[in-house]
Amino acid sequence: MSAPQSLRSGPRGAPTGLGRPGAGPARRTLLLALAVTLAGCGFELRRAPELRFRSIALTGFKPRSTLADELRRQIAASPTTVVVDTPAQAQVVLEVITDAREKSVVATTAFGQVRELQLRSRFGFKLRTPQGRELIAPTEIQLSRDMSYSETAALAKEQEEESLYRSMHNDIAAQVLRRLASVPAL
């Protein structure tokens, strides 16, 4: 048994539209048209690139490298490729040439206090087969971010710096994966 129209109300007594004849089908038609429009525009979430090799070894990274961890995570999202421990087990080897963080002062006050820093992350790599055949020539990716600095908030700025480096590592890993996806099938 439903409540009479006078008792059906939303927050603060606003009518809910349940009692209006024809309100339900029009609303459903509008929602259906919206869903069809979104589905028809080609929108879809970004997926991990499909790599054309079955296994990869990551060599030359520093111990506990956040960039190596991010690369492992993004490669694991690929449905076709796994990361192995040794180059002998791998179909291809990603060899690190450089993996460096840099920080430089961009702006100071008249009193010599730092006001702005520039953070840079450089990553150089090459891709080869375990036998030594080069698949991707030595390549370097460099990203930079600017960051304001205040000595009164040094701890917060240190956390912001780590967050910016993590963000740059995510971007570098995504760029590396796109380049790995361009390698032809072996």
76-129, pLDDT tens digit by residue?
A: 998 889 999 999 999 999 999 999 999 999 999 999 999 999 999 999 999 999
Domain holding 168, by residue range, is: 55-181
Give the Å distances, CA to CA, from 52 to 78, 82, 176, 180: 10, 11, 14, 8
Q: What is the pLDDT, as a whole number, of residue 22?
A: 53
Higher pLDDT pick, 2 / 36: 36
Q: What is the CATH number of the domain that holds 169?
A: 3.30.160.150
Sign of CA dihedral 182, 52, 75, 92: negative
37 inside domain = no
Q: Residue 41: pLDDT above 90? A: no
What is the distance between the alpha carbons of residues 159 and 161, in angstroms, rounded to a whole number?
A: 5
3 inside domain = no
Which range (7-16, 46-55, 63-72) has the least confidence? 7-16
What is the distance between the alpha carbons of residues 21 and 5, in angstroms, rounded to a whole number?
A: 12
5 confidence band (pLDDT: 50, 70, 90)? low
Please state the domain count of the chain.
1
- φ/ψ (deg, to 5) at 166: -60, -40
136 inside domain = yes
Higher pLDDT pick, 42 / 97: 97
Q: What is the pLDDT, as a whole number, of residue 96?
A: 97
What is the value of pTM for the model shown?
0.74
What pLDDT, in 10s, does the model give residues 130-173? 999 999 999 999 999 999 999 999 999 999 999 999 999 999 99
